[in-house]
Structures are given as C-alpha cells and as structure tokens.
A and B are shown apart, each in its own frame.
Chain A
C-alpha cells in the first residue's frame, strides 16, 4: 500500500505548479515576522499560524483530491500514509514518515526529516516558545476536518529548537459518518 502512495505522491508532484523554494521560504519567514510584530507573544503567534493554516487547509483539500486522485481512505492508518507519502510530497516536495502509531491506530507522529520551511532560519532566544511551522498543523486540521475527520494536531519536535528532526503528532478525535439524513 505504502509503495502505491509513494508513486501517487510522485505523480502528483509532477502535476502541481512549483515555486522557487527560496522565495517560498523567505515569504513564509516574512509572514511569521509580521505576525510576531502584530501579536508580540509567541503563544499568540502559534495560535494565529494555526488559524491561518486552517483556512488554507479547508481549501487546499479540494485541490489535493483533484490533483492526486486518491480514493477514500479505508482507515485512519490510510489517512496517515496518504498524508505522509502523497500530501507532503505534493506540497513540500519532501518525503515524510508516519511512526509511533497508537495501539488502537488513533494517533500517529508525522516525521519530516527535511522541511523547506526552516531553511536559513534561526530562532532567537526571545522566541524560543514559537512553533515556527505551526501553520502545517492548521493545514492538516483544516483539510481533514473538511473530510469529516476531526483531529488534534500538535508540533512536538522542531529542528529550530535544537531537536534532531521535525515531528507532528496527529490524534484522531472522531470521524463523522456521512449519515446526514439521520442527523437532520
């Protein structure tokens, strides 16, 4: 299954419009910088980045489905694999891995060995509580929510804080089964 997703990821990567990675990194850096000036505290910036990501995520998912042509996930494990192998490849151009699955498959850690967001970035001591790439969490939350999968997403490790890798924990809260007629 995993191999199939790797293939899908690569074919999606060839289909999307691309942007120079330095422009991308610098633009994102500038976004974070303006947020810091507007909101001052790291905690508040983290929240804002998550919110921004959420708004991006609820739109991005349509584009993702249209371009990658993935089918409906059969399980949350599938969701994780598609996120790591197809989505990360398609949007960031990097391979990601799902690890540390919870025993009941309801949570996993997404590991990004390489992360184009953090190139050239150093976190000053003053902002040591900032999760620089918190926007990714928002994006994951927003896009999965549009598919009626509600999740909690938290940054756990970031190379900018001196960890050796980037890790994001994704925990499943609930899946809304599509039985809208019963609900109404």
Chain B
C-alpha cells in the first residue's frame, strides 16, 4: 500500500497545506493542480449529494478511484477538507483523515495562537505531527 500525497483545503477553496511522499511524477504546476482539484471536489461533492436517493446531508462523498490511484476525501462541518491520494489497495482512509482533523488540525493549528484562520499552515508542530502520523500508518 502506498500513500502519494495529501492536501488540506478550506471552504474558500484555498489550499492550506500540501505534502507529497512517494509521488514519482512531480506536478508541473502545483498551484494549478490545487486550484482544479478543489474545484473538482466541490462539484463532485454537491453532485453526489444531489443524485443520492436518500437524504443525508454530510459526508456522502468519501472517495473515488481511477485505474492508477484512489482519492480519499473527508470534510469537517466547518468546511475544512482533507484529501489523500493512495494506491488502489487501500480500502478506507476515513478514520485516518478524521484523526488528522481531530488530533492534528485542532491540536496544533486551531490552538496555535500564531496561526491566523484562513491562511496557509506552516506551524512546525503540525508539519511534524502530520508527517509522523501518515508515515507510520500501515497504509503507507
């Protein structure tokens, strides 16, 4: 199992954090990629919700797969989205992403007085903890 890369977006579609690990093909234009990905996810999320036969409001869309990678998606009620790309053998990353929200984002970003809400995250502790958590996952 392989984890390729990881994104955090806020509700305004701004990418707050990006990190890649075993990504062979580096992005030519990362800004463009982030912008398009956030747009795609918002559309996909709304559309998935719209055609769903049942009425459930939150977290309907969880992942999509192509023939080379799988994208996992988790959104908090406050609109912070966590996105992770893995290979196809990974089943679900929901618990891991929820853990990142609860134990890393809330602990080391929200509670950091130097961090301004809505800006890119460059808190050392967050960078360190997230990296440590993901690298130690069995899926890595």
CB distance from A84 to the nearest CB of B (A): 18
**A interface residue numbers (CB < 8 A to B):** 58-59, 61-63, 65-67, 71-72, 74, 146-148, 178-182, 184
A65–B76 touching, CB < 8 Å: yes
A147-B78, A181-B46 are known contacts. Are A63 and B58 too (CB-CB below 8 A)?
no
Q: Which residues of the other chain, B, contact A59 by a CB distance below 8 angstroms?
A: 110-111, 117
**B interface residue numbers (CB < 8 A to A):** 11, 13, 39, 42-43, 46-47, 57-58, 76-80, 101-102, 105-106, 110-111, 117
A59 nearest CB neighbor, chain B only: B110
A179-B46, A180-B42, A181-B43 are known contacts. Are A65 and B57 too (CB-CB below 8 A)?
no
Q: Which residues of the other chain, B, contact A58 by a CB distance below 8 angstroms?
A: 117
Residue among A61, A62, A65, A179 with the highest chain B CB neighbour number at 10 A: A62
Q: Which residues of the other chain, A, contact B47 by a CB distance below 8 angstroms?
A: 181
CA distance A63 to B117 in the complex (A): 13
B77–A65 touching, CB < 8 Å: yes
Q: Which residues of the other chain, B, contact A71 by a CB distance below 8 angstroms?
A: 58
A180-B11, A180-B46 are known contacts. Are A63 and B76 too (CB-CB below 8 A)?
no
Q: Which residues of the other chain, A, contact B58 by a CB distance below 8 angstroms?
A: 71-72
CB distance from B118 to the nearest CB of A (A): 9
A180-B42, A180-B46 are known contacts. Are A72 and B57 too (CB-CB below 8 A)?
yes
Could you write out 24 A-B pairs with CB less than 8 Å apart?
A58-B117, A59-B110, A61-B78, A62-B76, A62-B78, A62-B105, A62-B110, A63-B106, A63-B111, A65-B77, A65-B78, A66-B101, A72-B57, A72-B77, A74-B57, A146-B79, A147-B77, A178-B46, A179-B46, A180-B11, A180-B13, A180-B46, A181-B42, A181-B47
Q: Which residues of the other chain, B, contact A179 by a CB distance below 8 angstroms?
A: 46
CB distance from A106 to the nearest CB of B (A): 20
Q: Which residues of the other chain, A, contact B79 by a CB distance below 8 angstroms?
A: 146, 148, 178
Closest 7 CB pairs of A and B: A66-B102, A66-B106, A72-B58, A181-B43, A62-B110, A59-B110, A146-B78
Q: Which residues of the other chain, B, contact A72 by a CB distance below 8 angstroms?
A: 57-58, 77
Q: Which residues of the other chain, B, contact A62 by a CB distance below 8 angstroms?
A: 76, 78, 80, 105-106, 110
A63–B110 touching, CB < 8 Å: yes
CB distance from A77 to the nearest CB of B (A): 16
CA distance A172 to B95 in the complex (A): 33
Q: Which residues of the other chain, B, contact A65 by a CB distance below 8 angstroms?
A: 76-78
CA distance A182 to B101 in the complex (A): 27
Q: Which residues of the other chain, B, contact A61 by a CB distance below 8 angstroms?
A: 78
CB distance from A142 to the nearest CB of B (A): 10
